[in-house]
Amino acid sequence: MRTIAIMNQKGGVGKTTSSVNLAAGLARQGKRVLLIDLDPQGHASLHLGYEAVGDTPTIYDVFSSVKTIGEVRHMVSDNLWIAASNVDLAAAELELVDAPNRETVLRDALNLIAESNAFEYVIMDCPPSLGVLTVNALTAASEVFIPLQPHFFALQGLSKLLSTTALVSRRLNRNLKVTGIMLCLYETGTRLAADVCDDLNDFLTRSEGDTPWSGAKIFESRIRRNIKLAEAPSYGQSVFDYDSKCNGAEDYGNMVNEVLAMQQPVQEPIRIAA
């Protein structure tokens, strides 16, 4: 089971759009996929037409140890399930502050479904912050994808993201690897986008040693600006269901093929010290 956290502390860079359409694209390829919405805004859930209201089980119930992931998942299309979120999840940040296992709640929950072989991919849409929920995702994940808009400030924010992955790797999850950089809202033909890509390539090429991002790649598929990607959430659909022939569907389809072709990072057994 490949567990992928999609994270960026900056909003508006295509994080949720990428989480949803990557999950939907993998499901269309016949893979069993669970999308976990870790953002209290619940945008990934709404994007797929699922609104968690009333007593609907959500991922918050997992963090509260009330239910298992198997009890909160909901099938939204063939091969695709969502563990939904709503504003209740914001309380988890406060409730977990003093909990002794606050960083490993999600990993422990995912270990239960890993044994059942129910899913081949778990995609986690992280909130736009580096709090307890994001740390839980990084502790549970084997891979990290970072969506970036090719602007100058994106490179500055990347250093903070990478520092966070290094900290989690040292203390909580030595299997964690940053395997992919996703360039979103890409404007083809602009000098700025080309310069940022060159700088990013140069940085990754020079990255050596035992860091989570050594060996990371920039996806060849660029997610171009496309109005269909912005329209699809209002219809509660992935871009593939909304308009399978648009540029957004083509770009995410190509990215899905790259993800399928990638070699999964080697998983070392996690030993708990006596």
**Is 42 within the bounds of a domain?**
yes
Which residue has better confidence, 251 or 201?
Answer: 251
- List pLDDT tens digits, range 147-163: 998 887 777 778 888 98
**Is 266 within the bounds of a domain?**
no
| Residue-level pLDDT at 83 | 97
Question: What string of DSSP letters covers 95-161?
Answer: HTTT-TTTTTHHHHHHHHHHHHT--SEEEEE--SS-SHHHHHHHHH-SEEEEEE-SSHHHHHHHHHH
| Residue-level pLDDT at 272 | 37
**Is 65 within the bounds of a domain?**
yes
Cβ neighbour number for residue 262 with a 10 Å cutoff: 14
Q: Give yes or no for a contact between 35 and 244, defined as CB atoms under 8 angstroms apart.
A: no
**Is 274 within the bounds of a domain?**
no
* Encoded amino acid at 71, one letter: E
| Residue-level pLDDT at 13 | 87
pLDDT band at 265 (very low <50, low <70, confident <90, very high): low
With a cut of 90, say whether residue 197 has pLDDT above it: no
**Is 120 within the bounds of a domain?**
yes
| Residue-level pLDDT at 208 | 66
**Is 267 within the bounds of a domain?**
no
Report the C-alpha gap between 183 and 225 in whole angstroms: 11
pLDDT band at 268 (very low <50, low <70, confident <90, very high): low
pLDDT band at 229 (very low <50, low <70, confident <90, very high): very high
What pTM, to 2 d.p., does this model score?
A: 0.92
pLDDT band at 198 (very low <50, low <70, confident <90, very high): confident
* Per-residue tokens: 173: 């999850």
Cβ neighbour number for residue 241 with a 10 Å cutoff: 16
Report the C-alpha gap between 189 and 196 in whole angstroms: 13
Lowest mean pLDDT, pick from 9-18, 43-52, 73-82, 229-238 = 9-18
**Is 29 within the bounds of a domain?**
yes
Classify 181 as helix, strand or coil.
Answer: strand
All residues at 6 or more sequence positions from 53 whose CB lies less than 8 Å from its CB, including other chains: 86
* Per-residue tokens: 182: 């996703």
pLDDT band at 58 (very low <50, low <70, confident <90, very high): very high
Provide the residue range defining the domain that includes 24.
Answer: 2-261
| Residue-level pLDDT at 173 | 96
Mean pLDDT of 201-208: 78
- List pLDDT tens digits, range 110-158: 999 988 888 999 999 999 888 899 999 999 999 999 999 888 777 777 8
Lowest mean pLDDT, pick from 53-67, 87-101, 195-209 = 195-209
The number of distinct structural domains making up the chain is: 1
CATH number at residue 197: 3.40.50.300
With a cut of 70, say whether residue 59 has pLDDT above it: yes
- List pLDDT tens digits, range 75-96: 999 999 999 999 999 999 889 8
Share of the chain above pLDDT 90, in %: 66
Q: What is the dihedral of CA 172, 264, 4, 156, to 10 degrees?
A: 80
CA dihedral sign of residues 148, 154, 159, 164: negative
**Is 273 within the bounds of a domain?**
no
Q: Where would I find the beta strands (DSSP E) of 18-105? A: 33-37, 73-77, 80-83
Find, among 130, 127, 132, the residue nearest to 97 by Cα. Answer: 132
Cβ neighbour number for residue 31 with a 10 Å cutoff: 18
